[in-house]
Amino acid sequence: MTFLRPTLLTLACLLASPGFADDLPSLGDASSAIVSPQQEYQLGRAWLAYLRGQVSQLNDPQLKDYVETSVYKLVETSQVNDRRLEFILINSPQLNAFAAPGGIVGVNGGLFLNAQTEGEYASVLAHELAHLSQRHFARGVEAQQRMQIPMMAALLGGIIAAAAGAGDAGIAAIAGTQAAAIQEQRRFSRQNEQEADRIGILNLEKAGYDPRSMPTMFERLMRQYRFDAKPPEFLLTHPVTESRIADTRNRAEQSKPGGKEDSQRYQLIRARVQLQYEDTPGLAAKRFQAQLDENPKNDVARYGLAIAQIKGSQFKQARENLAPLLAKAPNDITYNLAQIQLDIDNSRLPDAQQRTDRMLTQYPGNYPLNQVRVDLLLKQNRTADAEKALDGLLKSRPDDPDVWYQVAETRGLSGNIIGLHQARAEYFALVGDFQQAIQQLDFAKRRAGSNFPLSSRIDARQRELIEQERLVKGMMS
């Protein structure tokens, strides 16, 4: 999939004129008067809904949980003030990550394929969070002085078109917003990239990572893609030059030695992503087996082999590979989730139930564990219990379209048809299809009949969505 990096934090800065100051923006600065944080928030959420409806996404709960947890860890030591973040994981093997106004953070699957350590992965996200914390989008608007909401919307339209695969048409729409200022745009962009590198390195160190991971990542990417005619979008929007590498290396070397470079958890998640992009589970199994043959103590390779075998229905072999991992780390969530999935797929539901219950006593709020609990309940045809469990999951993930989709399916299975239509409405709203969302609430109202309190609640929600659609159309037109 061809994917244009949809970060308004950089793209809007491409519209700006030179004269960027080195001082960081203060609260109540001129940029906030032109584009307020609340406008950024609303625009970002509108853009996210449209993007969700246009691109294929990764819905692995363990991957989602890892990205969210790791980004929030970085946010805690960053200069990001508004921490109302939303995430999207793009199903693409191309190297890319982005941040958009309003706290939208996106990661391509390809970031895990290219970032060989957790430190390298974190360095990319720290850079993106720096764009957010420094409000480069709003500062770009302030610098130009004449870009208002309609021009932002024009940018969004082009970005969405490119993200959805429109290619040159989307790029032309973006370029056409301010074609006359190319030289100034590039200069301003470089300045913002330098600032994001600098702030990102500081954030890495504060978060406990080795900041040297950033120049290491840049160096390897430059070697890897130096002669590619069409490098990844990330490198088109983040040109890696000798001077940039030297600058980040010099800054990183000024920090104290030490800091985390990698973790086994990252490598386990990376193995899951690698399996996602293998042509078949058998090919993945061969690759992990080769790594294990080279080093029999490689637990990550053994885990990767086990999940490839589960996916390939080689249940006996998978069980044999998970056994030593669980013996070594009996309470590890990742290993236990793999065993639970194996038991579910192998129709050993009582074993899966027992293990799930035990793990939930230790990690009651863990998203992947609670999700697998729902899956297990559905396998057991306990739809009412699954619906109740999903209602609990919604309290912590009210804006997750994957959860709402499953809520709709589960309510349908349990005979809750009004609830089915309500859940579908929330799902469609989150993926930007307001017409479908409003129609689903029409269906729910008809079912509600003479139940006046329920009809009133549905009608109120429908009015909210109609108003939301009106605001979104106003931003995007």
97-100 and 104-108 strand pairing: antiparallel
- Residue 211 DSSP code: T
Query: Is residue 193 annotated as involved in ligand binding?
Result: yes
Integer Cα distance of 145 and 418 in angstroms: 49
| E strand or H helix at 352 | helix 349-362
300: nearest Cα among 326, 261, 270 = 270
316: nearest Cα among 282, 342, 335 = 342
77 — phi, psi (to 5°)?
-110, 10
178: nearest Cα among 16, 314, 53 = 16
Task: Work out the number of other CB atoms within 10 angstroms of the CB of residue 103.
Answer: 22
Q: Is 430 exposed, middle or buried (0-12, 13-18, 19+ CB in 10 A)?
A: buried
Contact (Cβ atoms closer than 8 angstroms) between residue 252 and residue 211: yes
Which residues participate in catalysis according to the annotation?
A: 128, 197
Query: Residue 87: beta bridge partners?
Result: 105
Task: Work out the number of other CB atoms within 10 angstroms of the CB of residue 65.
Answer: 17
Could you tell me where the DSSP H helices lie in 134-181? 136-144, 149-161, 168-175
Strand ranges of the sheet holding 104-108, from the earlier edge strand across to the other edge: 86-90, 104-108, 97-100
Query: What is the number of residues in the chain?
Result: 477
Query: Residue 100: beta bridge partners?
Result: 104
Those residues with Cβ within 8 angstroms of residue 39's Cβ, 6 or more apart along the chain or in another chain: 149
Query: Residue 99: beta bridge partners?
Result: 105
Integer Cα distance of 97 and 111 in angstroms: 7
Query: C-alpha distances in angstroms, 399 versus 87, 88, 132, 393, 403?
Result: 10, 11, 21, 11, 8
| Sequence ranges of the binding site | 127, 131, 193
| Sequence ranges of the binding site for Zn(2+) | 127, 131, 193
